[in-house]
Amino acid sequence: MSRVLLVEDEEHLALGLRFNLENAGYEVRLVRTGREALQEVEREALDLVILDVMLPGDLDGTQVARAIRRAGNFVPIIMLTARDTMEDRIVGIDAGADDYVAKPFDLDELLARVRGHLRRQVWDRRRGEAPEALPDPAEAPPEGEGEVLAFGDNRVDFHTWKATTHAGQVVQLSGKEVAIMRLFAQEEGKVIPRGMFLEKVWNEPATLETRTVDNFILRLRKLFEPDPRNPRHILGVRGVGYRFVR
Ligand code: CA
């Protein structure tokens, strides 16, 4: 289920939008200020952010978008605003937003844009990981004979890149997710610094922010931890990185 963060302070509009997004099958977090939005973005691996420009408090929508990008997070952002001027659109896009919808907007159009960005994100993710985006079926061993990491009630198959979660859900992992789990398996029990993830999983330690690692960890916890906020397998080591235990 895709997770959408909705940042909107107008109560009536916010509740209506949340209702319709949930109806469309998304998991929705609703917050009303820029500060809360940034906390949510840090805490939760999100698939899309719908961000109102005019927000109460000390951070407006464009500042929130900038802060999200500065942290190395490339979640799609759709900005909402009451004003539809060329200048506002440019400021929003320059701040890092992917799209811009002026109020009052047509609900169906907004939902179509949400679908579009979520779809694009899946494509980008695959393309970004080419050429090893999906495992070569010819190289996959017969079912049940793959190299498997089992922990808790989770299983990760390193050949098919399929994971079965504690909840019984079967998920196709991305190349980066598999690489992270492989590193965990290799370094089981040891503290792995964030820089080591960037080096081994991304191969470009200098150009990425360590927040990138945290975002992937959040998603993996969401998949594999029955209680992601009290992880039992993917443990955080404050100020350093992560440690994996079965
Ligand atoms: Ca507003």
pLDDT tens for each residue of 211-224: 788 888 999 999 99
178 and 99 housed in the same domain: no
Instruction: Convert the pLDDT of each residue in 121-140 to its tens digit.
Output: 776 666 655 444 455 444 44
Are both 28 and 74 inside the same structural domain?
yes
Residues 111 and 168 grouped into a single domain: no
Structural domain contains residue 126? no
- 40 Cα–ligand 1 center, Å: 18
Domain of residue 192, CATH code: 1.10.10.10
C-alpha 57 – ligand 1 centre gap (Å): 11
135 in the same domain as 114: no
Q: CB–CB of 100/78 below 8 Å?
A: yes
Tell me, yes or no, whether 135 and 96 share the same domain.
Answer: no
pLDDT for 76: 92
Any idea what DSSP says for residue 141? Answer: P
Question: Rounded to the nearest whole angstrom, what is the distance from the C-alpha of residue 102 to the centroid of ligand 1?
Answer: 12
- CA–CA gap between residue 238 and residue 242 (Å, rounded): 8
**Residue 45 Cα to ligand 1 middle (Å):** 24
3 membership: H or E segment, kind and range: strand 3-7
Residues 104 and 159 in one domain: no
Give distance in angstroms: CA of 86 to centre of ligand 1. 19
For the chain, what percent of residues have pLDDT higher than 90? Answer: 49
Residues 6+ apart with CB under 8 A from 117: 48, 76, 78, 98, 99
The alpha carbon of 21 and the centre of ligand 1 are apart by a number of angstroms equal to 18
Looking at the fold, whether 79 and 154 belong to one and the same domain comes out as no
Q: Are residues 103 and 175 in the same domain?
A: no
Which residues crowd ion ligand 1, with CB under 5 Å? Answer: 9, 52, 54
Threshold 0.75, pTM exceeds = no
User: How many A from CA of 82 to the centre of ligand 1?
Assistant: 8
- Listed residues 59, 94, 121: the one ending a domain: 121
Centre of ligand 1 to C-alpha 10, Å, is: 6
Please choose, from the candidates 77, 76, 75, 101, the residue with its C-alpha nearest in 3D space to the C-alpha of residue 88: 101
Looking at residue 207, its pLDDT comes to 61
Final residue before a domain boundary, out of 75, 93, 121: 121
Position 69 in a domain: yes
Residue 170 lies in a domain: yes
Report CA-CA distances (Å) from 99 to 38, 78, 90, 209: 19, 5, 10, 24
Cα 73 to ligand 1 centre (Å): 23
Write the DSSP string, 181-203: HHHHHHTTTSEEEHHHHIIIIIS
Low-confidence ranges of the chain (pLDDT < 50): 130-133, 136-145
CATH of the domain at 42: 3.40.50.2300
- C-alpha 55 – ligand 1 centre gap (Å): 5
Residue 40 lies inside a defined structural domain of this protein: yes
Ligand 1 centroid to residue 65 C-alpha, Å: 15
196 shares a domain with 135: yes
Same domain, 9 and 55: yes
For residue 189, report the distance from its CA to the centre of ligand 1, in Å.
Answer: 47
Question: Are 94 and 144 in the same domain?
Answer: no
**Strands (DSSP E) found in 60-102:** 77-81, 99-102
Report how many domains make up the chain: 2
List the 27-31 sheet strands across, edge first: 27-31, 3-7, 48-52, 77-81, 99-102
User: H/E element holding 212?
Assistant: helix 211-224
87 within a domain of the structure (yes/no): yes
Domain boundary, last residue among 94, 121, 148: 121
Parallel, antiparallel, or unpaired: how do β-strands 148-151 and 154-157 relate? antiparallel
Whole-angstrom distance, CA of residue 26 vs CA of residue 130: 28
Structural domain containing residue 235: 131-244
According to the model, what pLDDT value does residue 224 have?
Answer: 96
How remote is the CA of residue 9 from the centroid of ligand 1, in Å? 5
222 part of a folded domain: yes
Q: Do residues 20 and 83 share a domain?
A: yes
Report, in angstroms and rounded to the nearest whole number, the Rg of the chain calculated over CA atoms: 19
